[in-house]
Structure 1
Amino acid sequence: MAKNRLVVPEARQALEQFKMEVAQEFGVDDPRSLASNHTGYIVRKLVEMGEQQLIDNNKNN
């Protein structure tokens, strides 16, 4: 199995957009140049976004 294989291939465009946004936050022009030490930050950011979505969904219900 490929290391970078997406579970939902249709999500590739959204993932690329997210990489660009994170790269901009770090002041990096090329998201491919983000080192693996930024991975923890990216994961934390994704978790925060997911938590916020859950909070927002619970408020609306």
Structure 2
Amino acid sequence: MARNKLVVPEARQAFEKFKMETAQEFGVDDPRALASNHTGYVVRKLVEMGERQLIDSYKNK
């Protein structure tokens, strides 16, 4: 299975931490299980986080 490349390769460590935190929220020991079982939730959460960052950056201008 090929790994997807991150747009910002330096973000790999932060993304791995995010996966571990999300796995803990679901009570999953292996974050790889999230890819098949909870992908929609993970994507929604990432979009929500991005939206918050955009709103915060807009407000701080």
**Please, what TM-score do these two structures have when normalized by structure 1?**
0.82
Counterpart of 1:51 in structure 2 is 51
Count matched residues. Answer: 60
Moved over 3 A (4+): none
Structure 1 unaligned runs (5+)?
Answer: none
Counterpart of 2:32 in structure 1 is 32
What whole-Å deviation, never above 9, does each CA across 1:9-42 have from its counterpart, x for those lacking one? 2211011000001001101122122252311100
Counterpart of 2:16 in structure 1 is 16
Separation of aligned partners in 2, 1:57 and 1:8? 19
CA-based RMSD of the aligned residues comes to 1.5
